Structure 1
Amino acid sequence: MPWYEESFGEDYLLVYKHRSRERADREIEAVVHWLGLKPGAALLDLCCGTGRHSIPLYHHGFSVTGVDLSPVLLQVAKTESAGLDLPFYRGDMRELPFEADSFDGVVNLFTSFGYFEEDEENERVLQEMTRVVKPKGRFVIDYLNHAAVERGLVPESERMEDGARIREKRWIEEGFVKKEIEVTDDRGTRRYREQVKLYTREQMEGLMAQAGLVVESVKGDFDSSRYVKAESPRMIFTGSVKG
């Protein structure tokens, strides 16, 4: 089973419990500014997870649709958004379950890109963004800064969360940052792995150009700072679909 089909389950909610909705609200303030779309615009939250960003986008007045591969995370999103006109769908980001030109914009947040071994598969994700977003529609892709990852990687860590011991090992291998996660509680020990391909800015811009995405700016974080390879914690691309 591919790692991304195994890892995003109940234990994922525990491991990433520290990712708060308050933080997501602050991030969305910046995303809304970068998108420059009017209230009512149709927006796709690609790899929406638990809806941590979908819900504040909805409250900013957008017509939001979320899509994710994980049934567990989607169920949380549906529960958290109960009573809102905010649909969530299950789908693979390489083959989205939407018609062409369905949205005015797309957001892809919290490093939900670079999951696949081959460049061609990762580029298919970008091609799908281009396909489902209208010409000249907007995009925001929030990706890690490979230089910051290489500089600040913590090889091992351990903590307690809700009575469970969480051990994480991290390393870089063959162009990927990889993580092994071990969760131990009264139900026993479960192990998961994660990996993200380490693209440079130039490589990302090349992939996006091939897919029909026009990069207008690259931010270094959600404070809108300019991306600086040696310093920035993130690499956030904003721009539009080729018209």
Structure 2
Amino acid sequence: MPSWYEESFGEDYLIVYKHRTREDAICEVGKISRWLHLRENDLILDLCCGTGRHTLSLAKRGYHVVGLDLSKVLLTHAVKDAGELAVPFIHGDMRYLPFVDEMFDVVLNLFTSFGYFSDDEDNQQVLREIARVLKPGGRYLLDFLNKSYVVQNLVPKSEREEDGVRIREERWIDGDFVCKAITITDESGTRRYQERVKMYDSGQLEQMLEKAGLNVEKRYGSFAGEPIQSSSKRIILIGCVNK
């Protein structure tokens, strides 16, 4: 049976997450460029780039950037949106990056594109791969959900309509996993998807990063730049590889 992440990131995903806009990505890339002190000649990997919102914003700022994602559907949209921008978009698994050692100056992993695997070792492998492809002194940014915020603010059920498409979302906590069942109904019928993400708190994430050889130097609770608290929506960790 395919894993949830092999089925969920198709055309319907673009409807469910339509609220994630390119305008937001432009603002976030502004913060990323300052926090990571991006340089003109940096080679950046946008790991799990999706439709390339951040990849293309970086490219438009003149940075050299590569996008990688497992979803061929989302990559097709990224290539189309790139237009004349010479941005490589590559199909691949984040546990087994198709790049040589020490290739990138910067690796970005944005909007909870982590914790997809049930086995902690698979999630740890993602961090090892980030460390492997970073040059000595290379920087990274990991943007993840905040476990305490999710547990305290979980909305069990919600329904909405987007362009004539009915979207029903049911959410629950299963041990250390936050789960979502998505039902989409339109004139073509009904489709169902599930998301299942392993939650880690900031301390656990830092331990995993350090184990992979990634030092943690900055910590934020959102792209506004405030410190991480239990009420923070995000955990944003920034640092460099220990080589």
AA in 2 matched with 1:241: V
The CA deviation at 1:61 is 2.1
Instruction: State the 1:40 CA deviation.
Output: 2.2
* Map of 2:235 onto structure 1: 235
Q: Is the 8 A contact 1:106 1:139 kept in 2?
A: yes
CA separation in 2, counterparts of 1:36 and 1:59?
17
1:139-178 correspondence to structure 2 within 5 Å:
139-178=140-179
Query: Equivalent residue for 1:38?
Result: 39
- Normalising by structure 2, what TM-score? 0.98
Which amino acid counterpart does residue 184 of structure 1 have in structure 2?
Answer: T
Q: Determine the structure 2 residue equivalent to 1:191.
A: 192
Once residues 16 and 210 of structure 2 are traced to their aligned partners in structure 1, the CA distance between those partners, rounded to angstroms, is 35
**Contact 1:40/1:61, CA 8 A, preserved across alignment:** no
Deviation at 1:101, TM superposition (A): 0.8
Aligned length: 242
Asked whether the 8 Å contact 1:34–1:140 carries over to 2, the reply is no
Deviation string for 1:186-238 (max 9, x for gaps)?
1110000001111011110111111011000110000111111x221110000
1:203 and 2:201 matched:
no
Q: 1:64-213, aligned counterparts within 5 Å?
A: 64-213=65-214
User: In structure 2, the residue corresponding to 1:226 is in which secondary structure?
Assistant: coil
> 1:133-164, CA deviations, whole angstroms, 9 ceiling, x for partnerless residues?
11110000000111110111100000001111
Q: Distance in 1 between matches of 2:88 and 2:57?
A: 14
Q: Which residue of 2 aligns with 1:20?
A: 21
Q: Which residue of 2 aligns with 1:62?
A: 63
User: Structure 1 residue 37: deviation in Å?
Assistant: 2.3
1:27, 1:156 → 2: CA distance? 29
Q: Quick one: distance in 2 between partners of 1:204 and 1:55?
A: 28
Output the CA distance in 2 between the equivalents of 1:123 and 1:60: 32
- Displacement of 1:24 in angstroms is 0.9
Stretches of structure 2 lacking an aligned partner (at least 5 in a row): none
Report the AA paired with residue 146 of structure 1: K
Q: What is the alpha-carbon distance in structure 2 between the residues aligned to residue 106 and residue 201 of structure 1?
A: 19
Question: How far apart, in 2, do the equivalents of 1:90 and 1:209 lie?
Answer: 28
- Return the offset for 1:60: 2.1
Contact 1:114 1:198 (8 Å CA) reproduced? yes
For residues 75 and 173 of structure 1, the distance between their equivalents in structure 2, rounded to whole angstroms, comes to 33
Give distance in 2, aligned partners of 1:198 and 1:70: 22
Alignment TM-score, normalising by the size of structure 1: 0.98
- Two-structure CA RMSD over aligned residues (Å): 0.7
Measured in 2, the distance between the counterparts of 1:100 and 1:129 equals 10
Paired AA for residue 236 in structure 1: I
Q: Percent identity?
A: 52
SS in 2 for 1:222: coil
